[in-house]
Amino acid sequence: MKRSPQYTALILAGITWLVASPMAPAQITVKVDSTKNWLGWMNVFNMDNSYAFGQAWAPADLRAAFEPARSNATRVVLRINTNTFNTDGYWNLPDGTPNKLLEANFYVDVGTQYGGQDVTFTGFVESNSLPAGWTAVAVIKEFAPGYAYLGDTRAELYEGWQFSVTRYIRPGNITQYGFLLYGPNAAPGSPEAGAGVSIVVDNEDPSITAEPQPQRVLIGSTARFSVTAVSSSPLSYQWNRDGVPLSEGGRFQGVRTATLTIVNAQPEDAGLYNVTVSSAAGSKDSQPARLRVLAPAEYANWLDNPGFELDVELPTRVPPPWFNFSGAALASTNDFYGNQWDYPVQAREGTNVVRIYNAGEWNGVFQDQPAAPGDIFTADGWFWLSSADALEGNTSLQIEVQFRAGPTPLAMWVSSPVTPDSPKDQWLFLEVTNGVPAGWTQISTENARYLVAPPGTETVRFQLTLHNQGGGTGNVYADALRLMKKERVRITARRVGNQVELSWPTQGATQYQIIATEDLGQPAWTPVGEPLEGDGSVRTVTVPLGSQPRFFMVLTL
């Protein structure tokens, strides 16, 4: 559940959200439900309240538990932590008194599902025996993608009190709700060791334990939405699109099951899908999940809104799913921008660009998308320096691609930078090629256009970073950004007379080259014909057969 606001602000100052919702937010109410996936996180502080470290802990190590057992729990109990008490001076002083303050977080992480909605967390406090010096609260925390802390809303837990905490979660942000208990660590045999807080469990029935997830598919492909739910009686399901119940048949299969399948998906199938789960005890609607059905060129680009053209309610703000940190804003080619300068911005595509400007040491925008180990990407974009207000001083901008597991970066790749010496008043093309080793202290000299997600990858982050290392000024404009997920080539071959036909599905904005060899033992691969442009269709190429057997491959360039 990460760190509390008074501590997190020390390392996360400057993270800002700039998009307002044009519609009244929906209302989500969550309870103390033992069927949810409850997690543990411990933040450790020195006795002067300075932050030491934070890490994931098992709930039992927090001393948080459902009783008598999760399957039939009637209460959740949070107790003062005694697990760190030992003779080590890091945790305890020589006389046995505490040397650390602990913030035990017991929480549910729902990801971005509640973005754009008012979330209320409610429950009843059965008992509270915490002595002075320890505090327990109910809390809703909000994070930007990548788990940059944005703030929380909390309420202290008093015995016999029905608590209720409400917070508006901005679109695209992450929600966590639950409890935290803060105070010094205690000795196992001390009077404080048995103290704690008990909150009544109020399981939903039925309860959805795994929500449908957003899907993006190519036109003609198959999309699937699934839900997992539990109830005291048998369950039934009804899938809906944009609030309208679906009927079985045609492209929709399983509309009354836990998994909805959409075959041969078409653009008109795009929308928000959710499911109503029902039992004798009642009914529950899942959170909506968006289906995007994309043309080949759109599908090849893993970024949403790569040209900043869509969902622009406030014309100087960065639209979701982009997030900004410090200096970044939307700019239209029909207007003039700059620090008291009047000059036009010529868009590369469409009418909008994004302006990255000096508002601190680190400035820019980023977007996270799902990824998995072994996924292959390329990344590039177009950038403009105006001679009226170009970069000056020790300032540069580059594209960064990070592979991440939750909030933890695993690997990063960067482009060459835009600097004060870069050409002015023309579009500059940057491509990500250089890997950054662990620690990110030195850029390697090895060029690698294909970026491979390492083990443990959950998301890929595309980021524009302007670094002002002191006294720098100026703007950089960006447009037509691309994060291309490269699909592996699946080639088929058949002989037709004295020729061989090679066929494979192509991606938009991708070049392919056929190569061949006569000896797999000592292959000398040579090109066959010229490179071919992919357009999302199946390409077929006919190659004459020679006197010797040949082996063929198709490369993406």
pLDDT of residue 310: 65
pLDDT recorded at residue 320:
64
196: nearest Cα among 213, 211, 179, 172? 179
Choosing from 298, 316, 349, the residue where a domain stops is 298
The CATH number for 543's domain is 2.60.40
Same domain, 214 and 336: no
Could you say which of 171, 203, 235 is where a domain stops? 203
Here the CATH number for the domain that contains residue 462 is: 2.60.120.260
The pLDDT of residue 105: 97
Chain centroid to CA 322: how far? 11
Residues 447 and 342 in one domain: yes
Model pLDDT, residue 447: 59
Q: Are residues 359 and 454 in the same domain?
A: yes
Task: State whether 313 and 293 are in the same domain.
Answer: no
Q: Any residues with CB less than 8 A from the CB of 252 and at least 6 apart, and which?
A: 239, 246, 260, 261, 262
Residues 154, 248 share a domain: no
DSSP assignment of 354-407: EEEE-SSSEEEEEEEEE--TT-EEEEEEEEE--TTS--BSSEEEEEEEEEEETT
Q: Report the DSSP beta bridge partners of residue 452.
A: 376
- pLDDT reported for residue 344: 57
Domain identity same for 249 and 236: yes
- Cα distance between residue 284 and residue 99, in whole Å: 47
Q: What is the pLDDT of residue 355?
A: 85
The letter for the amino acid at 82 is T
Exposure b/e, 209-226, CB count within 10 A at least 16 = b? eebbeebbbbbeeebebb
Alpha carbon dihedral 279, 280, 281, 287, in 10-degree steps, equals: 20
Query: Are 385 and 391 within 8 A, CB to CB?
Result: yes
d(CA 390, CA 186): 58
Q: Is there a single domain that holds both residue 349 and residue 279?
A: no
- Per-residue pLDDT, 205: 85
Count: domains in the chain: 4
C-beta separation of 400 from 431 below 8 A: no
25 plus 112 within the same structural domain: yes
pLDDT at res. 16 = 27
Q: Are residues 382 and 461 located together in one domain of the fold? A: yes
Q: Please report the pLDDT score of residue 337 as a whole number.
A: 36
- What's the distance, CA 85 to chain centroid? 37
3-state secondary structure of 160: coil
Gyration radius of the chain over CA positions: 28
Predicted local confidence at residue 236, as pLDDT: 97
**Residue 477: both structure tokens together:** 């404009």
Residues 474 and 523 in one domain: no
Token code pair at residue 270? 């795009």
Burial class (CB in 10 A: 0-12, 13-18, 19+), 533: exposed
- The distance from CA 217 to its chain's CA centroid, rounded to whole angstroms, is 18
Whether residues 511 and 425 share a domain: the answer is: no
| Boundary residue ending a domain (485, 509, 526) | 485
pLDDT at residue number 265: 96
Shared domain check, 170 and 101: yes
Strand partners, 241: 244, 273
Helix and strand totals (H; E) in the chain: 3, 41
- For residue 123, report the phi and psi dihedrals to the nearest 5 degrees: 180, 175
CATH code, domain carrying 290:
2.60.40.10
Burial class of 27 by CB neighbour count within 10 A (0 to 12, 13 to 18, 19+):
exposed
pLDDT by position in tens, the chain (length 557): 433 322 222 222 222 223 333 344 567 889 999 988 999 999 999 999 999 999 999 999 999 999 987 777 889 999 999 988 887 789 988 888 899 999 999 999 998 888 888 999 999 999 999 999 999 999 999 998 768 888 999 999 999 999 999 999 987 789 999 999 999 999 898 889 999 999 999 888 898 888 898 888 888 889 999 999 988 899 999 999 999 999 999 999 999 999 999 999 999 999 999 999 999 989 999 988 889 888 776 677 888 888 877 654 444 456 667 887 765 555 544 333 333 344 456 788 888 888 888 777 888 888 888 888 999 999 999 999 988 888 888 899 999 999 988 778 888 889 999 999 999 999 999 999 876 644 444 444 455 678 989 999 988 999 999 988 877 788 899 999 999 888 888 899 999 999 999 999 888 778 899 999 988 887 789 999 999 988 878 899 999 988 888 899 998 87
Domain coverage including residue 68? 5-203
Question: How high is the pLDDT of residue 339?
Answer: 35
Select from 241, 214, 217 the least CA-distant residue to 293: 217
Structure tokens given for 193:
């060791």
Distance from C-alpha of 526 to C-alpha of 176, rounded to nearest angstrom: 55
Q: CB of 298 within 8 A of CB of 221?
A: no
Helix (H) or strand (E) holding 303: none
